[in-house]
Every structure is written in C-alpha cells, then in structure tokens.
Amino acid sequence: MTKGLYLKLAASNIKKNNKTYVPYILTCILTVAMYYIMKSLTLNPDLERLMGGQHVTLMLRFGSKIVGLFALIFLFYTNSFLIKRRKKEFGVFNILGMEKRHLAIVLGWETIYVLLIALAAGLGLGLAMDKMMFLLIAKLMNQKTPLGFFFTPKTALATAALFAGIFSLILIRCICQVQIANPIELLRAGNAGEREPKTRWLMALFGVLCVGSGYILAIITENPVTSIPVFFVAVILVIIGTYQLFAAASIAVLKMLRANKNFYYRTKHFTSVSGMIYRMKQNAAGLSNICILSTMVLVMLSATCSLLIGKEDILNTRYPFDFSIKNYETEPGRDGKVYEIIRNLQEERGMHVTNETAYMSLEFLVIWDGTTFVLDRDALNLGMAELDEIYSLFFLTIDDYNRLQGEHRTLEPGQILLCSGQIDDDQTVLKLLGEEYQIAGNLEEFTGGEDIFGKDTLQRQFLIVVPDLESMQKICEKQKELYENESSRIKQYYGFDSDLTPEEQIKFFQDTVEAIKEQELDVWMDSKADSDEDLSQLYGGFFFIGIFLGVLFIMATVLIIYYKQISEGFDDKERFAIMQKVGMELREIRASIRSQVLMVFFLPLLVAGCHVAAAFPLISRILALMNFINTRLYVICTGVTFLAFAVMYVVIYAVTARVYYRIVSR
C-alpha cells in the first residue's frame, strides 16, 4: 500500500465517522486552548506585577497541572468510545486483506490529523482568548491592566509536547487493542452484548458503606482545622462508593423493579428496564464519571461564588475596625510611642475617630483533657496532640471586660470568669499551671474586641477573665517557663474606625507602618481597606480558577453524556427494530426511549445533589478557615448553582435524547 493511500484512507475514515469524531475533535481543541491559556497566564510577567499576582500565579500553576492530568485521563476515556464503535470497521478491513500493521499506520495518520487540527485550532483559540482571560482575572482582582499582548514560544511548545505525548499514548493503546484481537472479534466487538450481570450484594453494601462513611465524616467533623484532611478522605470514600453503587447497587435496584410486576409489565418500562439491566455494567463507569464531575462543578462554583460575593462579610468578621494595632512593647517609655505616632498622624489628617476599643490580653495554646489544661510544647510541636484537644486560652482583666461589655462585675484574688461552653455549670474549680482558680461564673457570650473570643482563630477557645493585670502577668511568666522561646506575650490592643476614604485609609496605614519601622517598635498593624484589596485579589483568583475548571468539567460531562447516548443508541438500534417488527408501535418506542433515558440520565444529577448536600457542613467549615461564616449566603449560592446546572443538564438531555432517537428509529 502506498503512503498516499494511507493518508486518504485516514481522512476518509474521519469524515465517515464525523458524528463521533467532530465532538471529539472539538473537545480536543477546547482542552488544548484551556491548557494553553492556563500555562500562558502562569508565565505572564504582567500578572506577576499585579498586586497579589504572585498568589494567583501559584494557584494557576496548580490549576495547569490539574488541566494537564485531566486532559490525559479524559481524552483516553472519550477515545475509547470512538474505538469501540470502529472495531467492526477494523474487522472488515482486516478480512478484506489489510494487515494489522497497515491498520496501525492508518490509525497513526488519523491520530496525527486529529492532533494537528487540535493543536492548530486550539493554540489559535488560546492565543485569541489569552488576553481576554488576563483582563477577566485582573478585573476580578480589581486591578488595572497593562497594554500589550503577551506571547512566549515556551507556552506553545509545552502545550504541543503535552498533547503530542497524550495522543502518542492513545495511539499505542489503540494499536494494542487491534493487534491482540482477531478479525471475528473485531467484527463483533461493536455490537457485543452483555450477559445479565449478577446482583453483587457485597459490592453494593461496600458502596453504601463507603458513601455513608464519607457522608458521616462530612457531617460530624466540627473542628475547622481537621476539615481539610477529612475532606480529602471523605472525597476518596465517596468516589469509590459512587463507582460501586452505580456498578452494583443500580443492578440490584433494576432487578427489584423487574420483580415488581405492576411496574415491569408495561410497554415503556419492560424494554427500558430489561435493556438497562444488561448494559448497566458497562454504563457504570460513564454514569459514575458524570456524577463525580457534576459534584466537582457544583462544589467548586458554589464555594468560589460564596467567597467572592461574601467578601464584605469576611472582611467585617476578620477586621471589625478600620485599623487594628497589636502592641507588644513593654519597656517604659517605648510602650506609648506607637500611640503617640498614631495620634500625631490622626491630627495631621484631620481624622475623625470613632468606635475606639483598647484592652490588654494574653493568648496561648494548651491541651484540654476534659478536666484540666496541659501545657506540653513537644506534643503541640510534634503533632502528638489531637487537633480536637487543642484549645486557645484568651485572658482579659476584669476591668477591660467590664469596659468592653458595659458590665460591673467584680472578682476576688484567685477567682475567674469563663466563657467557653465546655465547662459544666456545676464545676467550681479550674486547674491551670499548677494553680487552682475558683470559677465565679460562666459567661454565656462575649461580644468584645477584634480578636478576643470566636474571632480570627482556628482552635476552640476558652475566654478567661482574671482579677487584674498582675494575675495575667503571673500566668504569662509561668507559660514562658514551659514554652520558652515559643511562649506568648501580653499585648495591648487598640482598634478604631475613621471617616477616611478607602484610599486615604491605605495611605494612613502605610505611613503609620513606615513610622513604626523607623522607631523599630514591636508592633503589628492591620488595615481593613488594605486587606480588602488582598481579599479581592485572593478570592478573585479563586473564582477564576473555579470558573475555568468548572467550564472544563462541564465540557467533559457534556461529551461523556453525548458519547454515552450515541453508544447506547447503536446498541439499542437492532433491539428496537426487532420490537417494531413484532408489533411495537412507534409511539410506544418513543415512550420506552423516554423512560429509559430519563431513568439513567438524571440519576447522576440526583446522586450529585446528595453528595453536595452531604458535603455542605464540611465545606462550610473549610470556608470558615477563610473567615467565611455566612451560611445563608452559601446555601443560596449552592442552590442557585445547582438550579443553573440542572437547567443546563435538561438542555443536554433534550439534545442527546433527540440524537439517540434518530439512531434507534432509522
């Protein structure tokens, strides 16, 4: 055979199989474009120069690796649909005298054609959209965008190398499948049926246990610190369980439906249920992938939208004052310098100060064993203590407490007030650092300053109110003896609001920080306006990554559904033809198709909805690590995201069901 014939035959094969190849090629083009854009943004120096651009660049690098790994897995998976439909074609070529090495050459040229089309169109689309994506991410970060167009050959070469490698692996797998099969097997492969699968109760039970365990972990985990590692464990359990449920539990359910005579012996149910039982084994992977991808899309978009929309709530939770100063200076003569600097700058700016708050506090970590506090530096540093056992003790004097709360409580030496919710009302003594303190009362709530109780901390907290500063200093010295260079210090906190504009607040903050550095004072200062910019950049980057990966996963979901419908259409074509010959009317065929597609098609969406609902408490706690505590907003974002995704899912159903019907009704 001449080389020209191979080229023509490869092009002809792609053209003849356009219904399966066109969606595949379009997907390859979009995947190439998305990887190129992500990779280009990571190398774009203009993004690095944006305020906060370094953090976004780091996230984009991680995102580009996800896209690359996803492209490898997804293109392998979708290519398997193409090869299954074409095995009969390969068998005919083989019987007509084409040797397997010739088939391998034809497959090679087909792969080269698809690769060249995908790279040419994908890189072109990526170049066209690269600047648009940069403008979008800059807009989300509230940054001004520089003029000019960025391009580096390094990005194009990296993209070409990645997809050339992926397509090479795909080609090797295709050639291996053709080489090991004989012509008769190839002829029958496209239409090979499935034996009735056995009901695997153990597998179904294992799937239920995996999913149930993941759900339980998501619901019962209360400590935000443990949420992230628990999240990954729960995700793995749910993914494994989802595959097991679709592979085994779905067959068990279908057989139970078949056993229900009132349901099964109806025209539209009889053919759909019987057909699905035989094909559910091969459908399990596709349905599971659709379900998992749908869950990922819903979780990513709802979480990132919540962070972006709820930025103001996060900011107010983290910074209840426009300016916050933590002063660790204790030397006489230096402890008041920071306030002198601030007062002078306030007068220079003509600033109107409101909501001033000031207090002294001490905070350090301990291990709570249920009855007493243990200060164990090694256990904390080496991670030997359970996260749920680690608490943060926060100390205030009774004078500061009364001023902040507007109360008039008194304490005798050796007495304390507690606010924790962990101490029983009948407990009268608390042991701490070898001392016993009389509990004069349990406080139900505390609404004090910026970082006192329930603010800006990952650990559970005890607020302990002591009689005076001397008592606090005594406790501080004892914890210094145990924690040594890792001990905490008493700090003076000062917070206040102002009438300055956000720009003026940032300028005031920068000038104050510069003056503090010049005096070499041990002081930490925060500004709400300055942090607002940081949060805009951070959450804008998160939202961009969420949208980007969400679009990628939605594209994958659509293609898997499309190929699944086409594959099932060809499998069911002869079965419905036989049914029509034995007297089944066209309207009955339509009803049967609608019943079958609805049963299978919307099952992944329903299961994905269950996954999202179960993950809700755990995702809420992970978001709490970022100071997002507006659960109502997260509920709204999750609900809107699910409804929007469900509408898109219905549209996909309408399109693919029509394609399926055209195939089986020919």
pLDDT of residue 30: 82
Residue 551: helix, strand or coil by DSSP? helix
pLDDT digits (tens, 9 = 90+) for 26-59: 888 888 888 888 788 777 766 655 555 566 666 6
pLDDT of residue 558: 77
pLDDT at 328 over 70: yes
* Percent of the chain at pLDDT exceeding 90: 3
pLDDT digits (tens, 9 = 90+) for 252-297: 767 776 777 676 666 556 666 666 666 665 566 677 778 888 888 8
pLDDT of residue 132: 72
Query: H-type helices in 50-181, by residue range?
Result: 53-95, 100-140, 153-180
pLDDT of residue 268: 59
Element (DSSP H or E) covering residue 415: strand 415-419
pLDDT of residue 643: 92
pLDDT digits (tens, 9 = 90+) for 454-497: 444 455 677 888 888 888 888 888 888 877 777 788 888 888 88
- Please give the C-alpha separations between residue 427 and each of 372, 396, 397, 442, 462, in angstroms, as whole numbers: 12, 21, 21, 10, 15
Angle formed at CA 51 by CA 49 and CA 53, multiple of 5 degrees: 65
Query: 326, 395, 368, 328: which is closest to 459 by C-alpha?
Result: 368
pLDDT digits (tens, 9 = 90+) for 354-404: 888 888 888 888 777 666 777 766 555 544 445 566 778 888 898 988 888
Q: How far is 394 from 14, CA to CA, in rounded Å?
A: 70
Q: Which residues pair with 436 in a beta bridge?
A: 431
Q: Which span out of 48-62, 181-195, 379-393, 419-433 was modeled with the highest average pLDDT?
A: 419-433
The amino acid at residue 193 is G
More confident residue, 257 or 617: 617
pLDDT of residue 657: 73
Rounded to two decimals, the pTM is 0.69
Specify whether the CB–CB gap between 42 and 64 falls below 8 A.
yes
pLDDT at 223 over 70: no
333 Cβ contact partners less than 8 Å away, ≥ 6 residues apart: none
Query: Which position has the token pair 């109502």?
Result: 632
Query: 290, 293, 279, 215: which is closest to 247 by C-alpha?
Result: 279
* Percent of the chain at pLDDT exceeding 70: 70
pLDDT of residue 1: 52
Q: How far is 251 from 282, CA to CA, in rounded Å?
A: 11
Q: Which residues pair with 417 in a beta bridge?
A: 441, 465
The amino acid at residue 85 is R
pLDDT of residue 384: 47
Q: How far is 475 from 489, CA to CA, in rounded Å?
A: 10
Residue 366: helix, strand or coil by DSSP? strand
Q: Which span out of 16-25, 28-37, 159-168, 586-595 was modeled with the highest average pLDDT?
A: 159-168
b/e 439-475 (16+ beta carbons within 10 angstroms → b) = bbeebeebebbbbbbbbebebbbbbbbbbeeebbeeb
Query: Which position has the token pair 């690796």?
Result: 65
Q: Which residues pair with 431 in a beta bridge?
A: 372, 436
- Section 153-176 average pLDDT: 87
Q: How far is 395 from 363, CA to CA, in rounded Å?
A: 6
pLDDT of residue 457: 47
Distance of CA 651 to the CA centre of its chain: 25
Q: How would you classify the pairing of strands 491-498 and 435-442?
A: unpaired
More confident residue, 531 or 84: 531
Q: How far is 433 from 437, CA to CA, in rounded Å?
A: 10
Q: How would you classify the pairing of strands 491-498 and 353-368?
A: antiparallel
- Section 158-171 average pLDDT: 89
pLDDT of residue 665: 66
- Section 131-155 average pLDDT: 65
pLDDT of residue 593: 64
pLDDT of residue 642: 92
Query: Which position has the token pair 């190129």?
Result: 36
522 Cβ contact partners less than 8 Å away, ≥ 6 residues apart: 327, 328, 329
pLDDT of residue 382: 44
The dihedral sign for the CA sequence 379, 384, 385, 388: positive
Quote the mean pLDDT of the chain: 76
Query: 326, 327, 345: which is closest to 336 by C-alpha?
Result: 327
124 Cβ contact partners less than 8 Å away, ≥ 6 residues apart: none
Element (DSSP H or E) covering residue 493: strand 491-498
> In the structure, what pLDDT confidence band is assigned to residue 524 with cuts at 50, 70 and 90?
confident
